[in-house]
């Protein structure tokens, strides 16, 4: 009889305990699918103890790196987190000894994905990370395996449940950003320091990983332009609604004439699009391939069970003997990621302005747009609230047809210089399909 496949699980937090509970509940199915028994042989966490789990005779290691190098495991499952330090050292220790690794650690893959893939290839180990992007949604497998026959044009998605929760609550409950952020924190969705989520950086990590799989480039977060959702107001959400859009924090990786663009920013998405209909903490990823057309996957982007489901799928794949290059092609063939400046981005724009309430102001704005060959698709003048009226300004919303980022930024800077616009104009990019 085949010996059981021995797991070494480092990290018994939300995902680690979720994984062990899932293994206990579905032990027989895992074994049937893998063709052999699967057991936790060893574990590591800061604190020793079973956390109410049945860890059987699993050995405890205070050091994850020692667990990885112990020789008593077949797969090292890294569920600690963090780009550097403990997790990274332990994963390198496992891979360099030919021990396969399953990880949910997007921060580590975003920082060291290429190096780790190279190490895995050299030692013949597998490096699997389905849980690192989109939690339980099988986006990595879909790009790496199922869509391997396609030329991918674009991947766009809602990769951060906290931001999607905040924007959904703001829109449906008409609550300001700060209130929704505090709610997300109270519910345990947002980190105590939420800057990483709301600033768009978590989305950027996941996008860089996805872009590598989709476009054959090395993972490079430096190639991602990032803007967060901190500046989105209820006025923007209302205007979006009137224009037939929703505002979502999207990560978009897309082939353009200037190279593969990677960008994270609040985006106007047509209400009819699947991404716009993804509300609350859910994540969604739309993939545009030449043969498949557009495909959207929607599901839970976090949580113990959902993330453990993705980790489990990787473990069973390795147990079955499936061998794949971590990023879908040999590491040596991965090219440097393009770094396309945001100024070159082309698309439609939503602009909200505080226009000085005097004759000729709108004409001056239209003239500046015209000079940069920007054509307007819609203009909405909103009723001035008390504050705006007291400040002598009128809120105006513009929607442009396709133009470049540099053109719209230059035109808006000139309207401020001309003295016809007060405050910093709010600019939100519009999703291409919606134009
Ligand atoms: N939570 C999610 O929904 C989710 C979703 C997708 C991906 N992920 C990723 O999954 C990974 C784990 O996340 P999590 O939410 O499960 O984290 P977590 O709840 O904070 O758990 C982290 C675990 O790592 C252990 N640990 C920390 N430092 C250690 C050290 N020096 N030596 C040994 N063990 C150490 C902790 O030990 P103690 O228990 O003793 O403190 C804890 O068990 C991260 O990479 C995260 O980005 C999480």
- Is 435's pLDDT higher than 60? no
In terms of DSSP H, where are the helices of 187-233? 195-198, 201-215
> 9 CB under 6 A from ligand 1?
no
CA 24 to ligand 1 centroid distance, Å: 20
pLDDT tens column, 208-233: 999 999 999 999 999 999 999 999 99
Strands 393-400 and 346-356: antiparallel
- Is 376's pLDDT higher than 50? yes
Q: Which residue's C-alpha comes closest to atom 15 of ligand 1?
A: 14
> 403 CB under 6 A from ligand 1?
no
Could you count the other beta carbons within 10 Å of the beta carbon of residue 122? Answer: 12
Q: How confident is the model at residue 1 (pLDDT cuts 50, 70, 90)?
A: low
> 162 CB under 6 A from ligand 1?
no
Taking each helix axis as running N to C, give the angle between helix 361-371 and helix 405-417, from 0 to 180 degrees, rounded to the nearest 10: 150
- Is 372's pLDDT higher than 60? yes
> 161 CB under 6 A from ligand 1?
no
Question: Can you tell me the distance from the alpha carbon of 209 to that of 190, in angstroms, rounded to the nearest whole number?
Answer: 22
Average pLDDT estimate for 177-183: 95
Catalytic residue among 106, 141, 206, 218: 206
Share of the chain above pLDDT 90, in %: 92
> 192 CB under 6 A from ligand 1?
no
Question: 3-class secondary structure for 17-86?
Answer: HHHHHHHHHCHHHHHHHHCCCEEEEEEECCCCCCCCCCCCCCEEECCHHHHHCCCCCCEEEECCCCCCCH
- Is 53's pLDDT higher than 50? yes
Identify the residue with better confidence: 360 or 56: 360
> 11 CB under 6 A from ligand 1?
yes
Q: Which of 217, 272, 276, 274 is nearest to 246 (CA)?
A: 276
The token duo for 103 is 């990880």
Question: Can you tell me the distance from the alpha carbon of 249 to that of 198, in angstroms, rounded to the nearest whole number?
Answer: 9
Q: Which residue's C-alpha comes closest to atom 30 of ligand 1?
A: 46
Question: Can you tell me the distance from the alpha carbon of 241 to that of 235, in angstroms, rounded to the nearest whole number?
Answer: 10
Could you count the other beta carbons within 10 Å of the beta carbon of residue 85? Answer: 11
CA 11 to ligand 1 centroid distance, Å: 5
Q: Can you tell me which atom of ligand 1 is nearest the CA of 80?
A: 24
Average pLDDT estimate for 4-29: 96
Share of the chain above pLDDT 70, in %: 99
Measured CA distances, 349 to 8, 158, 181, 232, 399 (Å) = 50, 20, 26, 15, 6
Average pLDDT estimate for 344-366: 95
Q: Specify whether 382 is catalytic.
A: no
CA 133 to ligand 1 centroid distance, Å: 15
- Is 167's pLDDT higher than 80? yes
User: Which of 9, 11, 12, 93 has the most ligand 1 atoms within 8 A of CB, as the residue to mutate?
Assistant: 11
Q: Which residue's C-alpha comes closest to atom 8 of ligand 1?
A: 104
Phi first, then psi, for residue 383 (nearest 5°) are: -70, 135
> 47 CB under 6 A from ligand 1?
yes
């Amino acid at each position: 009889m085949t010996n059981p496949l021995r797991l070494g699980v480092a990290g018994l937090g939300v995902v680690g305990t979720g994984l062990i509970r899932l293994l206990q509940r579905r032990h027989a199915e895992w074994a049937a699918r893998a063709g052999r028994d699967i057991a936790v042989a060893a574990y590591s966490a800061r604190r020793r103890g079973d956390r109410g789990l049945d860890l059987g005779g699993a050995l405890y290691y205070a050091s994850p790196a020692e667990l990885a190098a112990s020789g008593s495991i077949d797969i090292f499952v890294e569920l600690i987190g963090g780009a550097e330090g403990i997790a990274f050292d332990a994963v390198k220790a496992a891979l360099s000894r030919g021990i396969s690794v399953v990880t949910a650690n997007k921060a580590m893959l975003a920082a060291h994905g290429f190096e780790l893939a190279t190490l895995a290839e050299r030692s013949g180990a597998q490096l699997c990370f389905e849980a690192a992007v989109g939690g339980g949604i099988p986006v990595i497998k879909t790009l790496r395996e199922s869509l391997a026959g396609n030329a991918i044009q674009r991947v766009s998605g809602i990769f951060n449940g906290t931001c999607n929760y905040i924007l959904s609550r703001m829109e449906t409950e008409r609550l300001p950003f700060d209130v929704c952020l505090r709610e997300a924190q109270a519910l345990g969705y947002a980190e105590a320091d939420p800057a990483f989520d709301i600033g768009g950086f978590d989305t950027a990590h996941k996008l860089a990983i996805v872009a590598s799989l989709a476009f054959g480039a090395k993972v490079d977060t430096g190639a991602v332009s990032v803007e967060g959702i901190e500046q989105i107001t209820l006025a923007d959400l209302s205007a979006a609604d009137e224009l037939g859009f929703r505002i979502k924090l999207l990560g978009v990786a897309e082939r353009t004439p200037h190279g593969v663009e990677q960008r994270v920013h609040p985006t106007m998405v047509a209400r009819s699009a699947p991404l716009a209909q993804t509300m609350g903490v859910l994540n969604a990823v739309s993939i545009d391939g030449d043969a498949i057309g557009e495909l959207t996957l929607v599901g839970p982007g976090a949580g113990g069970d959902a993330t453990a489901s993705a980790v489990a799928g990787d473990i069973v794949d390795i147990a079955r003997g499936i061998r794949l290059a971590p990023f879908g092609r040999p590491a040596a063939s991965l090219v440097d990621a393009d770094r396309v400046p945001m100024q070159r981005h082309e698309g439609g724009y939503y602009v909200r302005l505080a226009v000085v309430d005097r004759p000729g102001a709108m004409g001056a704005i239209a003239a500046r747009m015209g000079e940069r060959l920007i054509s307007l698709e819609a203009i909405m003048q909103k009723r001035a609230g008390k504050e705006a009226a007291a400040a002598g300004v009128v809120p105006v919303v513009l929607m442009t047809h396709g133009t470049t980022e540099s053109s719209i930024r230059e035109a808006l800077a000139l309207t401020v210089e001309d003295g016809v616009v007060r405050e910093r104009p709010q600019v939100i990019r519009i999703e291409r399909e919606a134009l």
